[in-house]
């Protein structure tokens, strides 16, 4: 399988996971690695639960095997977490008690790298074979069973971020992307790259890779669910793709997009309600995010602030500056110069 050619030794390289480490090893400000190798055998399973909770999501671990071993490495960036692990057989559970004590408005995206797993959520069961990908709602109880030694790659992402690209996920508690789905190979490659801690990734690179990952997931979801989606969902998916392609066009408007799909502006606004935003708010948020990425890109430092604004679809520099500061808590110049502020 082309997308899974990266061997386990590369995902869990000797520098990223040291067998002598008991507490987390800080590889960089955004990367940690853990292993049970130096933990007393009787304490390994409880240790693993704490590791998973800190690195991925607050869950309980069950079905302790006699000889348990596991290792994980991961990186955290803002609201995003990416990790890769291998372990002995066991189970993880996110029940109602954990949902109440540690709510998480996230999706858990998992790539089955080695071994099999069974995922249960809301009376739906998924069986994942190597190369397949599952999306699970972190706000709903679920159980994951690893009946044999397992290797997985994980991403924990905000629901609002992924649903902006794939709004049909709101109607499904979980989703499976099959190994041979048209965009699955590229999706696997992005997950592997984001979870690979053997090299450093800059913020801009993570931003771009995560954006690409969301687009690929949206394409896979749209392709696999077309037969089940209602017409409004299909129409919204097409509208979102068209609007992303036209972000840099200052003429993009609700009327222009509605005319492109031969619908009324009122119908367009009804479709965009499914994203939780009006068309105007969606357009502003996405243009601001595009400008933020451009300002932080070293390859585009030669562009002036005004040029970045115009290339992101803004035609009023004063409006751009005010909107940018309101959204990110800093001016475009401060963003370019690396000033810290809330994302």
* pLDDT score at 29: 39
pLDDT over threshold 90, residue 67: no
Beta-carbon contacts of residue 20 (< 8 Å; ≥ 6 apart)? 37, 38
Q: Identify the sign of the CA torsion 57, 285, 295, 245.
A: positive
The beta-carbon contacts of 62-70 under 8 Å, at least 24 apart in sequence, are 62/90, 62/91, 62/92, 62/93, 63/89, 63/90, 63/91, 63/145, 64/90, 65/89, 65/90, 67/41, 68/36, 68/41, 68/44, 69/36, 69/37, 69/44, 70/35, 70/36, 70/44
Distance CA 246, CA 263 (A): 18
| Residue 252 phi, psi (nearest 5) | -60, 130
Query: What are the distances in angstroms from CA 149 to CA 23, 143, 158?
Result: 23, 17, 29
Q: Identify the sign of the CA torsion 75, 176, 1, 114.
A: positive
- Crossing angle (nearest 10°) for helices 279-295 and 203-225: 140
What secondary structure letter does DSSP report for 292?
H
Average pLDDT over residues 298-326: 92
CATH superfamily of 231-336: Homeodomain-like (1.10.10.60)
∠ Cα 12 17 23 (to 5°): 145
Higher pLDDT, 229 or 27: 229
**Are 167 and 233 a contacting pair, CB within 8 Å?**
yes
What does 98-148 look like in DSSP terms, one character per residue? HHHHS---EEEEEEEEES-EEEEETTEEEEE-TT-EEEEETTS-EEEEE-S
Which tokens sit at 145? Answer: 């069973």
Query: What are the distances in angstroms from CA 222 to CA 172, 213, 215?
Result: 13, 14, 10
Beta bridge partners of 157: 107
**Which tens digits make up the pLDDT trace of 101-124?**
777 789 999 999 999 999 998 878
pLDDT over threshold 60, residue 339: no
**Are 87 and 150 a contacting pair, CB within 8 Å?**
yes
pLDDT band for 225, please (50, 70, 90 cuts): low
Average pLDDT over residues 73-88: 91
Distance CA 25, CA 8 (A): 19
**Which tens digits make up the pLDDT trace of 264-281?**
899 999 989 888 899 999
CA neighbor of 88 nearest in space, from 71, 64, 69: 69
* pLDDT score at 23: 41
- Above pLDDT 70, what percent of the chain? 86
Distance CA 322, CA 124 (A): 47
> Which residue is listed with tokens 């110069």?
337
2-220 topology per CATH: Jelly Rolls (2.60.120)
**Every domain of the chain and the residues it spans:** 2-220, 231-336
pTM greater than the 0.75 cutoff: no
- Above pLDDT 90, what percent of the chain? 43
């Amino acid at each position: 399988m082309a997308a899974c050619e990266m061997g386990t030794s590369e995902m869990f390289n000797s520098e990223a996971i040291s067998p002598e480490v008991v507490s987390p090893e800080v590889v960089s400000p955004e990367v940690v690695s853990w292993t049970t190798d130096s933990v007393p055998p009787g304490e390994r399973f409880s240790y693993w639960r704490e590791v998973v909770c800190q690195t991925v999501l607050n869950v309980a671990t069950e079905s302790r095997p006699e000889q348990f071993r596991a290792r994980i490495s991961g990186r955290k960036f803002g609201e995003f977490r990416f990790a890769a692990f291998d372990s002995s057989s066991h189970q993880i559970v996110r029940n109602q008690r954990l949902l109440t004590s540690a709510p998480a408005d996230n999706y858990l995206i998992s790539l089955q790298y080695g071994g099999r797993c069974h995922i249960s959520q809301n009376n739906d069961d998924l069986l994942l074979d190597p190369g397949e990908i599952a999306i699970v709602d972190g706000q709903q109880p679920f159980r994951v069973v690893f009946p044999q030694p397992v290797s997985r790659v994980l991403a924990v992402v905000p629901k609002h971020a992924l649903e902006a690209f794939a709004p049909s996920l709101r109607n499904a508690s979980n989703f499976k992307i099959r190994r041979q789905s048209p965009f699955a190979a590229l999706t696997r490659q992005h997950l592997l790259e984001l979870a690979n801690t053997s090299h450093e990734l800059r913020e801009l690179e993570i931003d771009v890779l995560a954006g690409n990952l969301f687009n690929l997931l949206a394409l896979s979801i749209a392709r696999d669910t077309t037969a089940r989606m209602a017409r409004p969902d299909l129409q919204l998916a097409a509208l979102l793709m068209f609007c992303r392609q036209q972000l840099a066009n200052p003429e993009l408007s609700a009327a222009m997009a509605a005319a492109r799909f031969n619908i009324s502006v009122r119908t367009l606004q009804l479709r965009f309600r499914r994203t939780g935003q009006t068309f105007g708010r969606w357009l502003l948020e996405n243009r601001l995010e595009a400008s933020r990425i451009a300002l932080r890109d070293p390859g585009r430092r030669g562009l002036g602030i005004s040029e970045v604004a115009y290339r992101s679809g803004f035609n009023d520099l004063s409006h751009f500056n005010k909107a940018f500061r309101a959204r990110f808590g800093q001016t475009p110049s401060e963003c370019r110069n690396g000033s810290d502020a809330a994302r």
